[in-house]
Chains A and B, each alone.
Chain A
Amino acid sequence: MVGNLFLYDGMTFLYAIVVVLYFLDFISHKHTLNRIAFSLLAVVWGLQSTFFITRMTEVGYLPLLTTFETTLFFSWLLITFSLVINYFYKIDLFAFFTNLIGFAMVAVDLFLGEGASRLAAHMQGDLLVLHISLAFLSYAAFSISFIFSIMYLIQSKLLKEKRWNNTFRRLPALDKLDAFTFRLIIVGFPLLLTAMILGANWYYIQFGNVLIWDAKPVVSVILLFCYVVWIYLRLSAGWSGRKLAWWNVISFGLVIINYFFVGQFFSGFHPW
Chain B
Amino acid sequence: MHIIVVGLNYRSSPVEVRERFAFTDAEMEAGIARLVGTQQVREAVIVSTCNRTEVYAVVDALKPGLDTIHAYLAEHSGLAQGAFLTHLYEYEGEQAVRHLFRVTAGLDSMVLGETQILGQVRSGFLFSQEQGKTGRLFNNLFRRAVTVAKRAHSETKIGENAVSVSYAAVELAKKIFESLDHKTVLVIGAGKMSELTAKHLNANGATKVIVCNRTYERAKELADKFNGKALDMNSLDLALKEADIVVSSTGAEGYVVTKAHVQATMKKRRHRPLFLIDIAVPRDLDPAMGDLDNVFLYDIDDLEGVIRVNMEERAKEAEKVGVIIGEELVAFRQWMNAQEASPLIQGLRQKALGMQADLMQNLNNKVQNLSDKEIHTVNKLTMALVNQLIHKPITEIKDMATEDDAVVYLEAFKRLFGLEEEAASNRPADGKDKPKQQADKPKQPAEQGNPSVVAVQAQMEQTRQEEASAGARPAELFGRYGTH
Residues of A within 8 A of B (CB): 155, 159-160, 162, 164-165, 168-169, 171-176, 179, 238-243
Contact = CB atoms under 8 A, between A and B. Distances in A.
A194 B177 CA distance: 34
A247 to B, nearest CB: 13
A159 B271 CA distance: 17
A107 to B, nearest CB: 34
Contacts of A168: 175
Given A238-B271, A240-B271, A241-B273, A173 B176 contact: yes
B290 A160 contact: yes
B271 A155 contact: no
B271 A172 contact: no
B294 A240 contact: yes
Nearest to B174: A173
B460 to A, nearest CB: 46
A175 B296 contact: no
Interface string B236-277: 000000000000000000000000000000010011110000
B305 interface: yes
B296 A160 contact: yes
A162, A168, A179, A238, most chain B CB atoms within 10 A: A162
Given A162-B302, A241-B271, A173 B178 contact: yes
B5 interface: no
A73 to B, nearest CB: 32
Nearest to A238: B270
Given A238-B270, A241-B293, A243-B293, A162 B175 contact: no
Nearest to A162: B302
B176 A159 contact: yes
Given A173-B178, A175-B178, A241-B294, A164 B309 contact: yes
B293 A176 contact: no
Nearest to A239: B271
B163 to A, nearest CB: 13
A159 B267 CA distance: 21
Given A159-B176, A162-B305, A174-B177, 16 more contacts: A159-B175, A160-B296, A164-B305, A164-B310, A165-B309, A173-B174, A173-B175, A173-B177, A173-B178, A175-B176, A175-B177, A175-B178, A238-B267, A238-B271, A241-B271, A242-B293
A89 B242 CA distance: 30
28 contacts: A159-B172, A159-B175, A159-B176, A162-B302, A162-B305, A164-B306, A164-B309, A168-B175, A172-B178, A173-B175, A173-B176, A173-B177, A173-B178, A174-B176, A175-B176, A176-B178, A179-B178, A238-B267, A238-B270, A238-B271, A239-B271, A240-B271, A240-B272, A240-B294, A241-B271, A242-B293, A242-B294, A243-B293
A159 B274 CA distance: 12
B298 interface: yes
A162 B178 contact: no
Contacts of A238: 267, 270-271
Contacts of A164: 305-306, 309-310
A240 B244 CA distance: 14
Interface residues of B, number: 22
A143 to B, nearest CB: 23
Nearest to B271: A240
Interface of B: 172, 174-178, 267, 270-273, 290, 293-294, 296, 298, 302, 305-306, 309-310, 313
B145 to A, nearest CB: 26
Contacts of A155: 175
Contacts of B302: 162
Nearest to A243: B293
Closest 3 CB pairs of A and B: A238-B270, A176-B178, A173-B178
Nearest to B173: A173
A173 B244 CA distance: 14
Contacts of A172: 178
Contacts of B272: 240
Contacts of B172: 159
Nearest to B291: A160
Contacts of A241: 271, 273, 293-294
Contacts of B174: 173
A240 B376 CA distance: 96
A159 B293 contact: no
A172 B272 CA distance: 18
A33 B10 CA distance: 40
A66 to B, nearest CB: 42
A174 B293 contact: no
A174, A239, A242, most chain B CB atoms within 10 A: A174
A164 B309 CA distance: 7
A152 B65 CA distance: 63
Contacts of B294: 240-242
Nearest to B307: A164
B175, B270, B273, B313, most chain A CB atoms within 10 A: B175
A175 B273 contact: yes
A230 to B, nearest CB: 15
